[in-house]
Amino acid sequence: MNRRLRKTALVTAAISAGLLMTACQNGSTDKGSSADTSASTTATSQGTSKSSGSSQNSGSSGTSAGNASKSQQGVNATITGGTISYLAPGKYIVSVPGKTDRAFFVATDTRIHGAGTICGGSHCTLDQLETAARKAAVPADVTIRKGVATVVRERHGAGGSTGTKGVSGTWLGNVGYLAPGKFTVSDMKGVEQAFFVADSTKVYGAGTICGTPGSSGTSRCTLDQLEAAAKKGVSAKVVISGGVATTVTEDR
């Protein structure tokens, strides 16, 4: 009996110990699974938050860059009848009565055509434009592309004498030199009429301005050749429109 009781007690103890160990293991496993799941959920939440933040920042940066790019592109415009004033190195403003002022930049490839104020020729420098605009507003037409002037053309006679501005007609007489880009032509009575020349002025020579002396026809000459001949004196027919010569044809 005693042996049976002892054996039964041992078996009962062994079974109890086994159940206790199993319970502990199950508890440990449950806790681990819960912790892993919580950590996984937290990591996923953090990852999603970071991803969302990154996406928003990227979008905002892209929008800002796009707006900056658009603002740097500038405007395209062709402005006539305006006056140019100096703002800062390389930057000017063109004003037209009744319209909004337009600021623009100049570049090394900006073509500047003078009519006596900026310079007397058809190819002025950026320094000459700045010097003239610093002194006073310069009457000029401006072609702007992407905020930068491609052409600045001083208007002939816009700031000159009243005897030159707006004159139209045909004169035949001696052509003399007055100043860069500005000449006179005298009629049969010796009365002189001043006029300007432009890039569009067509000059034809018959041996003095240019060309071959004694030839039956005329040759196309440059404005520089006209200036050189006019400083010495040359007889020619001059057609003027609005104070600017459209053609100067040497008298054969």
pLDDT digits (tens, 9 = 90+) for 19-41: 455 544 554 444 444 444 444 44
Question: Phi then psi for 227, rounded to 5 degrees?
Answer: -60, -45
Domains of the chain: 77-154 (2.40.50), 169-250 (2.40.50)
CA distance 67 to 75: 14
Token output for 183: 């000449």
Q: What is the pTM of this model?
A: 0.40
From CA 118, how far away is CA 124, in angstroms rounded? Answer: 7
| Predicted pLDDT at 166 | 58
Q: What is the distance between the alpha carbons of residues 86 and 101, in angstroms, rounded to a whole number?
A: 13
Res 6: pLDDT: 56
- Yes or no: say if 201 and 181 are a contact pair by the CB < 8 Å rule: no
**Amino acid in position 131:** T
Q: What is the DSSP letter of 124?
A: B
Which pairs from 68-74 meet CB under 8 Å and 24+ separation?
A: 72/147, 73/146, 73/147, 74/104, 74/105, 74/144, 74/145, 74/146, 74/147, 74/148
What was the pLDDT predicted at 14? 53
Per-residue pLDDT, 196: 84
Please report the sign of the dihedral spanned by the C-alpha atoms of residue 148, residue 91, residue 143, residue 195. negative
pLDDT at 63: 36
- The encoded tokens of residue 92 equal 């000017």
Mean pLDDT by groups of 10 residues along the chain of 252 residues: 54 53 48 44 43 39 35 75 91 89 94 86 87 89 94 70 60 89 80 84 94 85 95 93 90 84
How far apart (Å, rounded) are the C-alpha atoms in residues 45 and 119? 71
Radius of gyration of the chain (CA): 45
Confidence at residue 16, expressed as pLDDT on a 0 to 100 scale: 54
Confirm if 86 and 137 have CB atoms less than 8 A apart: no
The total number of residues written for the chain in this structure: 252
Q: Mark out the alpha helices in the chain (DSSP H runs).
A: 2-73, 126-135, 223-232
What pLDDT is stored for residue 136 in this prediction?
85
